[in-house]
Chains A and B, each alone.
Chain A
Amino acid sequence: MARSAAPDMKTSSPSTIVTANDVTKVYQRGSEPGRLARVLGRSEPPTVSAVDSASLDISNEEIVGLAGPSGSGKSTLLHILAGLERPTEGSVLFQETDLATLSKRNRTRHRLKHIGIIFQQFHLLDSLSARANVALPLVELGIGKQQRRRQATELLERVGLGDRITHRPGELSGGEQQRVAIARALITDPDLVVADEPTGELDTDTGRTILQAFKEVAENRAVVLASHDHETLEICDRLIQLRDGTVTNRLKQESSSDEDS
């Protein structure tokens, strides 16, 4: 598949966090026919290509935006970079580690140690306080209670929720919940933070506050945002435009002009 922009591929520098090489993701619509269905002549279900031969790399301390309309494949690409999805074709190198070589368990472990994920709908545990939500991933790293609490409190203070640490998600506003989600994504000090429509559920003012938090997050790590919101994408250092699963454009934000990289 021809790409309108030249790929910035296969040249992992020391500061490169993740590299995607010719990544394609194909989904089936509906289930595979069984033996009987095949005998009866049921055809294979149709397929749809969510991402088509996309290549990119993400470096440390940069915020990269995945832009495009709904259904353009930006969320799928984001999930592939985070190790939540396996590409149908192509490879994803995360700091020299090919994610395809990892078992399901090791990919989960890899996400825990290296990747912070922020969802549009926060997905916090309603039954836990803000601090307990943030501290939860540390359990998997075998960190004791006191240290978990201290680290979670520090992070919540950093995102401006120092006075809300014992509140449950139901007692917090949407913006506050998203900041808790950001703190949770950062608690394991990941190398890459991915966020799918992080301001999608928030009003404009709250969204701006959250975006400011993202700028602070980007210190010493890479951030990838998937969004179709123009204001959200303005904080990005680079933009990768997708349409129908294909990378169509790469933009440097500072120059505000198209720039094939």
Chain B
Amino acid sequence: MMFKWLSDSLLRLRTAGSLTIAQFRQQKLRLLLAIIGVALAVLAITLLAGTGIGVLETGEQQFNAAERDLWVTAGETRITSAGGGGFENTLYDSRNLSTEMESQEGVSHAIPLAFDTVYAGTNSSGEFNTFIATGTPQGGPAIHVTDGDSIQGDPHYANGTYEGEMTNKVLIDEETANELDVGIGDTIHIGGSLAAARGNEFTIVGISPTFEQMLGTPTVTMPLSELHEVTGNTQTEPATFITITVEDGSSVDTVQQDLEESYPEYEIRSNQEQLSSVLQEQVLLLAAAGVLVFLAISAGVALTMSLLSLVIHQQRQTFAALTAQGISSSLLIATVVGQGLIIGILGGGAGVLLTPPAVAVLNRLAATIVGFDGLVQTAPWIYAGALGIAVVIGTIAAATAGWKISRVPPLELLH
């Protein structure tokens, strides 16, 4: 009895498989379109999820690459509309504060870092564009130079007198170079106001993508004192961050706790905490990204379901005729599920296979346009998830459509 049931089930399963393949061989174009539809849905899922991962990974990599252990801020590191836009630098008297912090136990270096909006142009009487300028008191390995030389030291500061000689040297990134049509050795005018920009000429000494990648926008990088000079901030010496490097052998957590006790008015964060903080402040951006991922998955699910429903709907009359002949619903549903499974696997597989080249194209575009390398990053679980969605949704959609058709009296479909 059991053997008979098993044998019959296998026979029906084999027949369902044969029917599935036969249906596909007959309707190659329909199969191809269904596979393309599912592949696009999968691609949308992998790319949007990959962008989300990429933003987090890139951010973390950038923070790690900065070779800093702690980040000190005074409030939020947010974009402000003041002065034409840019970072709100709320950490004042940053030079003295850095010196104080450097004297704390376990702290190797405390370096202020300022981002500010400046005007830059190639001709003092010509057109100026706004860029983000980064001010740092030293060059060093934290600033990656791909061509030319780095900036060296900050002699203009001169122990707070601002009477030292200005180096008048800047680093720019590829995007800034393209925008201003300049290269190493060329001079540009930079200032916090148009008047200041016309009066301050800097020589480009090298190309560095470091801060462009960190901020996602074209930047110029110069000594901190010279940034404060050209933006008129030498009195308050504002900074966006003070970055802390702990001494070898010291615990980052311990130093963080000590600094938090000594400077309760400031936020002191690790790399991971700082990244989270930056991301949390971009809540609208994150919400938009989340909505996009949700929409991509929903659209993928809806597209897969409607495609399969359509594929099954087109076969309803034939199935109704077979039901009338006495062919059981289970055999027909198995055939339909087989179609959903195959479309899900082939479409999902195609979407997964298309993802790496699509990621490469998007990353190249992102690197060219906004300077981010590796903006879209994938992980095995993204591939597995997208493929799983395609297969599971495909199968469920087909089974549902098949079940619904099997519930309709055959004559209703044959009239």
Interface residues of A (CB under 8 A from B): 79, 82, 84-85, 105, 108-113, 115-117, 119, 123-128, 132, 136-137, 139-140, 142, 144, 168, 184-185, 188
User: Known contacts being A139-B11, A142-B11, is A117 close to B328, with CB within 8 Å?
Assistant: no
CB-based contact B326/A109 at 8 Å: yes
Q: What are 28 A-B residue pairs whose CB atoms fall within 8 Å in the complex?
A: A82-B324, A84-B409, A85-B409, A105-B328, A108-B326, A108-B327, A109-B326, A110-B326, A112-B326, A112-B327, A113-B326, A116-B325, A119-B321, A123-B317, A123-B318, A127-B23, A128-B19, A128-B22, A132-B18, A136-B15, A136-B322, A136-B327, A139-B11, A139-B12, A140-B12, A140-B326, A140-B328, A142-B11
CB distance from A115 to the nearest CB of B (A): 7
Most buried by A among B7, B24, B410: B410
CB-based contact A127/B22 at 8 Å: yes
| A56 CA / B317 CA spacing, docked (Å) | 30
Map CB proximity to A onto B212-250 as digits: 1 under 8 Å, 0 otherwise.
000000000000000000000000000000000000000
Residues from chain B with a CB closer than 8 A to the CB of A128 are 19, 22
Residues from chain B with a CB closer than 8 A to the CB of A105 are 328
| A126 CA / B411 CA spacing, docked (Å) | 20
Residues from chain B with a CB closer than 8 A to the CB of A119 are 321, 324, 414
Interface membership of B25, Cβ < 8 A: yes
Residues from chain B with a CB closer than 8 A to the CB of A188 are 326
CB-based contact A142/B324 at 8 Å: no
| A113 CA / B12 CA spacing, docked (Å) | 17
Interface membership of B103, Cβ < 8 A: no
User: Known contacts being A84-B410, A125-B22, A139-B15, is A112 close to B331, with CB within 8 Å?
Assistant: no
Interface membership of B104, Cβ < 8 A: no
Residue from B26, B321, B328, B410 in contact with A127 in the complex, judged by beta carbons closer than 8 Å: B26
Residues from chain A with a CB closer than 8 A to the CB of B411 are 79, 84-85
| A142 CA / B6 CA spacing, docked (Å) | 11
Residues from chain B with a CB closer than 8 A to the CB of A108 are 323, 326-329
CB-based contact B325/A139 at 8 Å: no
| A115 CA / B324 CA spacing, docked (Å) | 10
CB-based contact B325/A184 at 8 Å: yes
